[in-house]
Amino acid sequence: MTANLEKTNDRLVFPFTAIVGQEEMKLALSLNVIDPKIGGVIIMGDRGTGKSTTIRAITDILPKMEVVKDDPFNSHPTDFDLMSEDIRNKVENGETIETIQKKVSMVDLPLGATEDRVCGTIDIEKALTEGVKAFEPGLLAKANRGILYVDEVNLLDDHLVDILLDSAASGWNTVEREGISIRHPARFVLVGSGNPEEGELRPQLLDRFGMHSEIRTVRDPELRVQIVEQRSAFDRNPQECLKEYHAGQEEFKERIVKAQEMLPNVSLDYDLRVKISQVCGELDVDGLRGDIVTNRAAKAYAAYNNKTEVTVEDIQAVITMCLRHRLRKDPLETIDSGDKVQKVFDAVFNAV
């Protein structure tokens, strides 16, 4: 068995590079992995279109990360913004920190999760009797430096969605109870998925997701046959399937690592930034999140394609995913939101 044949949650994962027919979803996930500050992605589409499979597949392919051994928060050994309070104190006191290599974690958030399960809880009795901050980490702690996946996010309680989005935006989770406060890093890529037939997220919450991927059932019969055959081959012999895609998986992993390293050096010309904001203004996008996310996604896309300067083509490739979910809905309008974004983009960027 090759080195790529690793297990996630004790099972082999369908290879990311073998997934076909859902390129927009794959690209949105890849860009968020390159730059988590994009703000996550919400994937809306039909049932049975491979949403969960794709998210697990990209988590499995990511390079391992260095973490502090036995730390429940996946603390980074040198970056203060990515380490817990205890580890930070040890580092500042000059103590030796033992580290290990660990796979990037993907944490599933179940629909019935409580706030304590998500954020963690404080043992008040132990705090009062022994004077120590006894904290039981929640899902946000486990997701630090990883991916937090919420299936059917449109059915999740709005209060919990608010908590997730606040943590994803700030990179920290704070738990306060009875005058005791615990704060720990919670820097993760938030990925939500759902079926629009089962209900939509409120616009205020939808806007806070960095990108929006819209996926539909593949209609081309030959492509459908290819997808079915690939899945059947994996189910019959997953190890053989993973060996077949090993080279492509390694190539993709190297591309992601290189893009992450290049990202700080990618530039976006001022005139292009002005045009991005002009598109947002003409689409009547509320706030500035659309401008910010489009800038970040365009830079990540340029780095993904091994470039240090963003071009108009890079912006065009990402702007629909960054803006389509931020448009105000007019029930009388017949044009698709994605088509509307592209129409305004063409008018702004092609204007002489």
In this prediction, residue 324 carries a pLDDT of 92
- Least Cα distance to 135 among 173, 102, 107 occurs for 173
In this prediction, residue 131 carries a pLDDT of 66
pTM: 0.86
- Least Cα distance to 134 among 143, 142, 125, 144 occurs for 125
Please, what are the domains in the chain?
7-64+103-215 (3.40.50.300), 264-349 (1.10.8.80)
Active site residues: 289
* Cα 35 from chain centre: 9
Q: Give the whole-angstrom CA distance, residue 320 versus residue 114.
A: 34
In this prediction, residue 334 carries a pLDDT of 63
DSSP H helix total and E strand total for the chain? 15, 13
185: part of which helix (H) or strand (E)?
A: strand 180-185
In this prediction, residue 292 carries a pLDDT of 96
Over its C-alpha atoms, the chain yields an Rg (Å, rounded) of: 21
- Least Cα distance to 316 among 286, 347, 288, 289 occurs for 347
Q: Give the whole-angstrom CA distance, residue 153 versus residue 51.
A: 13
Query: Token pair of 195, please?
Result: 């079926």
In this prediction, residue 333 carries a pLDDT of 66
Which string of b and e fits 109-129 if b means at least 16 CB within 10 Å? Answer: beeebeeebbbbbbbeeebee
Q: Give the whole-angstrom CA distance, residue 291 versus residue 324.
A: 12
DSSP state of 16: G
For residues 191, 197, 202 and 205, what is the CA-based torsion angle, rounded to 10 degrees? 10
3-class SS string, 194-232: ECHHHCCCCHHHHCCCCEEEEECCCCCHHHHHHHHHHHH
| Averages of pLDDT over each 10 residues, the chain, 352 residues | 40 87 91 92 84 88 88 89 87 89 89 87 72 80 91 85 85 80 88 82 81 86 88 90 91 94 96 96 92 97 96 96 87 77 92 58
